[in-house]
Structure 1
Amino acid sequence: MLFKNFLMWMIMVTIFITISSNFFFIFWMMMEINLLMFIPVMNFMKTNNSNCMISYFVIQSFSSTLFLISITYHFMYNINIFELLIMISLMIKLGMIPFHFWITNLSEMFNYLLLLLILTIQKIIPLFIMTFINNKLFIMFSMISSIFGTAFLYNLKSLKKILIFSSISHLGWMTTLILLKSTFWFSYMMIYSFLIMKITNIFKKYNLNLMNNFYMLNKNNFNKISTISLMLSLGGMPPFLGFIMKFISILIILNKNSLIMMILIISSMMNIFIYIRMIYPYLFYNTMSINVYLFLKLNLKGLILNLNLMISVFFLNLLN
């Protein structure tokens, strides 16, 4: 236990040193030390599958090596391609689309406490490093992560994969704020981390792994309402905390790029629809007749129609 606490303390130290520095070589060193401290933590958290730890180590080591080579050549020759490679190395570390396959494949091997650390604390260093890079091409990757991270949530049953793809979608928002030079990304990260912490705590407490397990919460209305409220908040449903952080982000982005703002709003609408669609049957389980449920059931065609109307209004405003 003492050694585990020491490892966690060292992980926090690497984060504090990173945010206190502005040298890329120190960033690389801190990422390596962070990784070396985190692997034993995975073992302490009963990740008994050695393939999981080896895969995580190999992927993170590869991205760190790519980062080191890229920063070396970038500062030697100042060629834009190496700046792009730096961004790619950080995207691999974060598990952003299209480099998300490793984290989705490993997610089922993680317990909820380990998943919480990977989705929160382990993302701070790569996100902070991005604040020192100005590559407009990366905004495209942020938009892709926001849209497809949401789209891949559709019809998912595994709660761990739902949290993974939700994280990818939120990364699109955070990296957009970073690239637009807004410091609000850190507040966004803190709010997101709080929501994930509360959700994973409930999932761990009741041993929930699939959406079907939500029926187990029906015995306790308070727990059911709390869990569903947190999930809707994570999806950005008003008036929850998750909506507030997205609303503030939209106000910030609106002043800088209205097209990016529109894409993120569409992504957020898709997110809300998918979360409501997932949660709706469990929210009204045993409380509504089947006829009322079928009458109120959301469908994809309605969402597409609403999105088309929004896009049409947006472009009509541009023409005016």
Structure 2
Amino acid sequence: MMFFNTMIFGTLMAISSYSWMSMWLGLEINLLSIIPLLSKVNNIYPSEAALKYFLTQSFASLLFLFSIILSSNLKEYFILFSDSFLMLMLNSALLTKMGAAPFHFWLPEIIEGLKWNNCFIILTWQKIAPMILLEYNLTLTTFLSCIILISSMIGGLMNINQISLRKILVYSSINHMGWMIAAMMYSPSIWMIYFIIYTMISFNIILMFNNLNIYFMKQLLICLNSNKMNKLLFTMNFLSLGGLPPFLGFLPKWLTINNLIYNNFYMLSVILIITTLISLFVYLRITFSTLMFNSTEMIFMKTKMNISMIILNFITIFSLIYYSYLLILF
């Protein structure tokens, strides 16, 4: 509980600071607090995951601190380091911390060694501070456009033929990170809406996987056959994660595409839509296999389900219908 609270404190310190050094200090407090959470014995590979995470984040923090020091004090002594190059270093360090492609090499390996509760922290909470700090620094539009394209393409293509549910969610997170950076470039409010909706959908999916204690596709197909409500909720949540209307996951993508087209990013919008269709193809293939394949489903078997979990899922999934109704009214 102490390390969990200091992890939250480090993130809040980083995003509410006025100086870059205080932001770096908040990121370091957050890093040192999450290492004991990752090295708990109930994880699958605790030491390996904690060590890989520590080394990667330490390198990113070193690059972040180096670019801050050069830009503030020593820039006149290093003529080779221009302002754009220092901003490139700073943004690269933040993108490494959040796990955006092509700086994503550490993320699938670490997630594969963790339990679902730590996976949720890495995929959601640990991205808040780097993304808000990146928002302060959105000067290199061409560089960020390349990051958006690479993240969306890798997140879409690497999802094909995955059998691990954790890796599917990791590459889905990389794909959504491309969308979030695209939303952040011209409208921080759309980024906030996107991140909140992504966190809600991920929470529903990870909560379901955690309750069923499943980590691979074969386990998923076996476990979902015993309960029709689990199967229905899983299917709708995955389709919502892919951004299929009328589910809630369609709303932030709709707002992001509208914002990009308004700012004349036509090619970027087309590539984002195509790569999202690849991810949606993967999700549809998973959901079709759970719904339509002939299997030994025990109709008479009754399993208790938490009614609050069912209500939370339905509110999260179908909130887009309520949102559209309110728009029509007002």
TM-score, normalised via structure 2 length: 0.82
Shift of 1:100: 1.4
Tell me the matched-pair count.
283
Which residue of the partner structure matches residue 68 of structure 2? Answer: 71
* 5+ residue gaps, structure 1: 288-320
The worse-fitting range, judged by mean Cα deviation, of 234-243 and 120-129 is 234-243
Structure 2 residue corresponding to 1:227, chosen from 223, 234, 241: 234
Which residue of the partner structure matches residue 148 of structure 2? Answer: 142
Distance in 2, Cα, partners of 1:33 & 1:63: 14
The answer to whether structure 1 residue 61 and structure 2 residue 58 are counterparts is: yes
Distance in 2, Cα, partners of 1:179 & 1:25: 24
Quick one: which amino acid aligns to residue 200 of structure 1?
Answer: I
The answer to whether structure 1 residue 178 and structure 2 residue 178 are counterparts is: no
The answer to whether structure 1 residue 244 and structure 2 residue 251 are counterparts is: yes
Identity of aligned residues (%): 33
Distance in 1, Cα, partners of 2:216 & 2:147: 30
Structure 2 residue corresponding to 1:262, chosen from 263, 266, 270: 270
Distance in 2, Cα, partners of 1:95 & 1:54: 16
Quick one: which amino acid aligns to residue 61 of structure 2?
Answer: S
Quick one: which amino acid aligns to residue 140 of structure 2?
Answer: N
The worse-fitting range, judged by mean Cα deviation, of 42-51 and 137-146 is 42-51
Quick one: which amino acid aligns to residue 242 of structure 1?
Answer: G
The answer to whether structure 1 residue 28 and structure 2 residue 33 are counterparts is: no
CA contact (8 A) 2:14 2:24 kept: no
Which residue of the partner structure matches residue 106 of structure 2? Answer: 102
Structure 2 residue corresponding to 1:198, chosen from 201, 204, 222: 204
Shift of 1:72: 1.5
Which residue of the partner structure matches residue 316 of structure 1? Answer: none
Distance in 2, Cα, partners of 1:280 & 1:68: 48
The CA deviation string for residues 197-240 of structure 1, in whole angstroms up to 9 with x for no partner, is 11111111111111122222111100011011111111111111
The CA deviation string for residues 78-131 of structure 1, in whole angstroms up to 9 with x for no partner, is 521111111111111111111212111222111110000000001100000011
Shift of 1:45: 6.7
Which residue of the partner structure matches residue 301 of structure 1? Answer: none
Structure 1: 4+ residue segments shifted above 4 A? none
Distance in 1, Cα, partners of 2:124 & 2:110: 16
CA contact (8 A) 2:60 2:96 kept: yes
RMSD: 1.6
* 5+ residue gaps, structure 2: 76-81, 296-330
TM-score, normalised via structure 1 length: 0.84
Distance in 1, Cα, partners of 2:8 & 2:256: 27
Aligned with 1:21: secondary structure? coil
The CA deviation string for residues 51-88 of structure 1, in whole angstroms up to 9 with x for no partner, is 22111111111110110001211234252111111111
